């Protein structure tokens, strides 16, 4: 019993110190390696695993529960006023600019805008689906594409397997097999838009297009702030996300809403079966990165003799991000 | 939270944006 108590005392005293020293050495080594290779300082595999094993889903669900709690009237101007000044919310654009209208933080977060405060560009073939910051954009014809300058993610890990057996049999790259036009006249492109906490958190359709399949990838709820997106490769393949694939008049089209710690839930108005940020138990670190399951729903109901569920016009309201 | 658009477009598609800019719903992302 003496020996056990001595060992316990020793471990309690020195283990935290040992972990800190190990973390510091790992951090310095990684910094040295990235300076030596001239590559951007991104997370190592070890750092990525440590980050993924944090209990972020529990935190996200607790935050969601708190945000949905009733906000007493006397507190509303102070709490929403503080949030608005902290995150530069333009409350004059909101449909209800009186703070007292919102009975919870969650309702304030998903506030609708006044009619006409966002003008949909009639001439452009593709418009912004959301208010936010352009993280990155450009060609997406390689298997690895950039989430921000210098930090990439795998297009196949992000979208999942090709939809048809014919596509997967084609002797060409995944990105080329995605394309619906085979005459070489088209390219794949991508655009990544980050929504900050103070932004309007409903999102719209960027063009006229028809989704035919929905994939919901369970995953982590890591932060997707520009800092983390510039540090953690494959971030968008690790996070929980809802992906709609289909076509527009130039070929393949996909639209993905990626969740984050404080905004873990995605609500798509035309897809009531979609449930996100579900409790997945204590499977801490259960997945090696970017190998998450996903559930798939064919939206093209023509196969069941009905009309397809949904065609979006440019500017149509698609859904919203919810807190927690 | 983040929205990622991945799409096929003609080779002469040109983006009208720059990385880091703020953008609002409905503003043009690109033209053909």
Q: How high is the pLDDT of residue A309?
A: 58
Structure-token pair, residue A70: 């009733």
**What DSSP string describes A102-164?**
-SSHHHHHTPPBPTTSS---SS-SEE-SSSEEEEEEEE--SSEEEEETTEEEEHHHHH-S-SS
Mutate to test the interface with B, among A93, A134, A175 (most CBs of B within 10 A): A134
A37 or A301, which is more confident: A37
| A120: nearest CB among B11, B13, B26 | B26
For A106-121, the pLDDT digits (tens) are: 999 999 999 999 999 9
Radius of gyration of chain A (CA): 23
For B:6-25, CB contacts with A below 8 A are: 6-11, 13, 15-25
Cβ distance A255 to B5 less than 8 Å, yes or no, reads: yes
Percentage above 90 pLDDT, chain A: 51
CB neighbourhood size of A266 (10 A): 24
**A254·B16 Cβ contact <8 A:** no
- Helix (H, G, I), strand (E, B), or coil: what is residue B4? strand
Tell me the per-residue pLDDT of A273-310, one tens digit each, with 9 for 90 and over: 888 887 655 444 444 444 456 777 777 555 444 445 58
- Distances in Å between the Cα of A28 and the Cα atoms of A39, A44, A233, A246 are 15, 11, 19, 45
Q: Report pLDDT for A15.
A: 77
Residue A226 has pLDDT above 70, yes or no: yes
If contacts are CB pairs under 8 Å, which of residues 190-219 in chain A contact chain B? 190-195, 200-201, 203-204, 206
Q: What is the C-alpha separation between A139 and A237, in angstroms, rounded?
A: 18
Among A254, A258, A321, the residue with its CB nearest the CB of B6 is: A254
More confident call, A234 vs B28: B28
From A125, A131, A134, residue closest to B21, measured CB to CB:
A134
Phi, psi of A4 (to 5 degrees): -65, -45
Cβ–Cβ below 8 Å for A134 and B20 = yes
Find the closest chain B residue to A182 by CA distance: B8
Which residue has better confidence, A16 or A158?
A158
Which residue from A136, A186, A252 is facing B10, i.e. has the nearest CB? A186
Dump pLDDT digits (tens) for A72-106: 999 999 999 999 999 999 999 999 999 999 999 99
CA–CA distances in Å: residue B18 to residues A5, A134, A154, A198, A203:
62, 7, 23, 21, 20
pLDDT at A283: 47
Find the mean pLDDT for residues B4-15.
Answer: 97
What pLDDT is recorded for position A35? 62
**Which pLDDT value is given to residue A300?**
58
> Is the pLDDT confidence value at A130 over 70?
yes
Please, which pLDDT band fits residue A250 given cuts at 50, 70 and 90? very high
The top-scoring range by mean pLDDT among A58-67, A158-167, A306-315 is A58-67
Q: For residues A250-279, give the mean pLDDT.
A: 89
């Amino acid at each position: 019993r003496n020996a056990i108590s001595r060992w316990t005392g020793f471990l309690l005293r020195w283990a935290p110190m040992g972990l800190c020293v190990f973390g510091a050495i790992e951090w310095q080594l990684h910094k040295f390696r990235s300076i030596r290779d001239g590559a951007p300082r991104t997370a190592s595999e070890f750092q990525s695993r440590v980050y993924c094993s944090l209990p972020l889903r529990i935190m996200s669900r607790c935050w969601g529960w708190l945000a949905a709690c009733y906000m007493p009237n006397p507190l509303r101007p102070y709490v929403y006023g503080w949030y608005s000044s902290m995150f530069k919310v333009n409350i004059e654009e909101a449909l209800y600019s009186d703070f007292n209208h919102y009975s919870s933080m969650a309702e304030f977060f998903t506030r609708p805008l006044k009619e006409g405060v966002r003008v949909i560009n009639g001439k452009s073939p593709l418009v912004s689906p959301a208010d936010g910051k352009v993280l990155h954009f450009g060609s997406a014809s390689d298997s690895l594409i950039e989430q921000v300058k210098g930090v990439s993610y795998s297009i196949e890990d992000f979208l999942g397997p090709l939809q048809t057996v014919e596509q997967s049999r084609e002797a060409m790259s995944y990105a080329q097999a995605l394309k619906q036009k085979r005459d070489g006249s088209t390219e794949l492109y991508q655009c990544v838009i980050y929504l900050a906490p103070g932004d309007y958190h409903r999102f719209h359709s960027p063009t006229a297009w028809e989704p035919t399949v929905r994939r919901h990838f369970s995953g982590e709820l890591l932060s997707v702030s520009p800092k983390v997106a510039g540090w953690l490769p494959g971030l968008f393949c690790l996070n929980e996300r809802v992906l709609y694939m289909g076509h527009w008049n130039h070929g393949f089209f996909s639209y993905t809403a990626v969740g984050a710690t404080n905004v873990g839930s995605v609500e798509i108005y035309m897809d009531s079966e979609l449930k996100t940020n579900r409790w997945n138990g204590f499977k801490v670190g259960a997945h090696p990165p970017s190998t998450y399951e996903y559930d798939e729903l064919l939206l093209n109901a023509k196969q069941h003799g009905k009309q397809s569920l949904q065609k979006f016009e440019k500017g149509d309201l698609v859904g919203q991000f919810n807190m927690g | 939270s983040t929205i990622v658009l991945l799409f096929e477009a003609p080779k002469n598609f040109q983006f009208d944006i720059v990385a880091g800019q703020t953008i609002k719903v409905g503003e043009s992302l690109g033209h053909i």
